[in-house]
Amino acid sequence: MNTAEITADDLIALVHSYNPKSNTKLIRAAFEYGAKMHEGQYRHSGEAYFTHPVAVAAILTEQQLDDATIITALLHDTIEDTGATYGEVENLFGHEVAELVDGVTKLTNLQLNSTETKQAENFRKLFMAMSKDLRVILVKLADRLHNMRTIKSMRVDKQNQKSRETMDIFAPLAGRMGMQWMREELEDLAFKVLNAEGRASIIRRFITLQRETGDVIQRITGDMRLELDKADIQAEVIGRAKKPYSIWRKMEEKEQSFSRLSDIYGFRIVTGSEEDCYRVLGAIHRRWRAVPGRFKDYISQPKTNGYRSIHTTVSGRDGKRVEVQIRTRQMHDVAESGVAAHWSYRDGVRSNNPFAVDPAKWIAQLTEQFDAEDDHEDFLEAVKLEMYADQVFCFTPKGDVVKLPRGATPIDFAYAIHTRIGNACVGAKVDGMRVPLWTRVKNGQSIEIISAQGQTPQVTWLDIATTGKAKTAIRRSLREVDRERFIKLGQELARSAFAHVGKDATKKVLITAAKNMRLKDTNEVLARLGSSELTGREVVQSVYPDLAPNKGDHIDARRAVVGLEPGQSFDRAPCCNPLPGERIVGITFRGKGVTVHAIDCERMAIYEDQPERWLDLRWHDGSHAAVYGVIIDLTIGNGAGVLGRICTLIGEASANISDLEFLERKPDFYRLLIDVDLRDVAHLHSLMLTLEAEGEVAEIKRHRDKNAKAPDEKGD
């Protein structure tokens, strides 16, 4: 039915078809009220605006939803776009409808379409709106679906913006709620805008395939019905080609061409009982060869949104793979409606579907794992991982079931049990055999986590873990460990910086520094100092502005090189980091200035056949400020206080640490790179002699990276 032609009687008939006891008077009143409020308003297509709320209501009738949701759809834009008020809607249609309409209005006003709003914050807002009444999101999804169906009337830039938002937020949300049909349609509509040619090419290939092979769906459907008849099983067989976007995504993921893709057809078999589901599975597997690793039993282990079905893939005609889903009628209703099945009607009564989940419990379970997220990017990663997850089911040694996304590892399993177990994990056994922590777990495996006291998460675990919960816990633990290390390092740097001006870094002095720098406490000052977010000079200056070291009469670093043209700028090459006192040469870049290299830099060989670009340069004579960064490669003993002494020696040598990176951590030695700011080459030699004299320093050398490119070189 054309949505522009739907009348109040048409809509009432649609509702009445599945809910004969519906309040037809209230639905008619809402229809007339909405039409009146939106009178004189038009859509981009030129149609009367009220055709949109009516279309949204019609979409929701397909899910057989309750009167309150249908009426909310009719009125969902009245408070926002017309003179209607909350009080008026409540007085006319009741408190429940008024709350729902208000919820949709607030959700619309969250400005999810703003390019300045981070996706993570969008998801937070969506979950907050969902937690009050999930029907708000059902209306919003139907609203988005109709807008996507009619998107061609919008400006091109708006089409792209709405389509990207649909692909990133609304489609995965619909899938997570179990409304797979809506997810697929939203994805395909967005795909049509974002990559019209890609979608058209998939459709053209489908037509060609159909011309070459005939109607594959009809033939396979007939074969399946024949096998079911032989086994005396009453069931409905539904076959379909997968949506263009679904096929495109498979091609991208598997890096295969269309001709090599096999599972582009899907079949559903809907039975009368759970017992028949397993009988159907047996009949299908007897007739066709099952594809290993492609079997999932979501009947015995349902998804959190209530989804139940048996999934298997078999080799059909001509060796083509065919995906088959087997479920009962009640399971099918939940598979089509997802969490929305809680409010749906069947045969005139509120559905008493045993597989429909309680929305309140579902929301609580979904949001619980994200509540602890402090970092918005972590939150977004966690949400997206959960949104797109396909599940595997593993067992603890005691036989408890743990649900994990496909591709999960023992690390994810450990954190799914408890954060404490995850943090202390040192190994794992799968089905009794010791395996590496990066092993991908499979359905039905029994996993035992081996833990050890004193173990802490490793940075490499972030690459191993796949669940949001595990990644968040690992990052939190690493931040705490890093913070403790930075505070200890900051204490040494602060002591050195204040000693340099004849003062002590007492607790009172650091409290004053924190206050003057508007930081939370002394630990925050020390942590920032240790992580190079602050320099020792800045901390000293915040307490003793007259005593802090200053540049005095040093040569301006911007004019430290002699031999440049007037107005010509220069950069030090990161491959050799030349210092005042070293012989240097310049390489010119058209319109980009000059890059200064040490004369013995290995990278100079690149320009041997371009002598016209070489400039004969030298450093200005005189005193230079300690602003020239050099990297020192240092191997030191892994002992208590060693790193602190190293930092103290560097501070006492009037050098500043700007960065510090650990390359290796061995039980007895650390190897690290320290970025220090120095005056000149003599300052470097003096510092290296001082550090070499430290008993715990095993090796020290200047670090140079011949592959490092200056900004000018990258674009040349």
Output the CA angle 569-573-579, nearest 5 degrees.
Answer: 90
* 3-state helix/strand/coil string of 393-436: EEECCCCCEEEEECCCCHHHHHHHHCHHHHHCEEEEEECCEEEC
Nearest residue to 189 via CA among 139, 222, 144: 144
- Whole-number Å distance between alpha carbons of 618 and 562: 5
What are the two backbone dihedrals, phi and then psi, of residue 713, each rounded to the nearest 5 degrees? -65, -35
- Whole-number Å distance between alpha carbons of 386 and 183: 15
CB atoms within 10 A of CB 235: 21
- Whole-number Å distance between alpha carbons of 182 and 173: 10
The DSSP secondary structure of 272-289, one letter per residue, reads: SSHHHHHHHHHHHHHHSE
Chain centroid offset of residue 653 CA: 45
Tokens of 142: 């139907």
- Whole-number Å distance between alpha carbons of 661 and 633: 10
Tokens of 487: 């505070």
Active-site hit among 47, 80, 121, 675: 80
Which residues are CB-neighbours of 560 under 8 A, at least 6 positions away? 580, 619, 620, 624
Catalytic annotation present for 81? yes
Which residues are CB-neighbours of 214 under 8 A, at least 6 positions away? none
> Listing from the earlier edge strand, what are the strands of the sheet with 561-562?
561-562, 614-619, 584-589, 593-598, 570-572
Determine which helix (DSSP H) or strand (DSSP E) holds 385, and give its type and residue range.
helix 376-387
Residue 151 is classified by DSSP as G
Do 676 and 690 touch, CB atoms closer than 8 A?
no
Do 569 and 594 touch, CB atoms closer than 8 A?
yes
Residue 357 is classified by DSSP as P
Tokens of 593: 């200035």
Determine which helix (DSSP H) or strand (DSSP E) holds 265, and give its type and residue range.
strand 265-271
Active-site hit among 10, 47, 62, 81: 81
Residue entry with tokens 């931040």 = 479
Q: Could you tell me where the DSSP H helices lie in 150-195? A: 156-165, 171-176, 180-194
CA-CA-CA-CA dihedral for 279, 281, 282, 287, to nearest 10: 130
Q: Is 371 helix (H, G, I), strand (E, B) or coil?
A: coil
Positions marked catalytic: 80-81
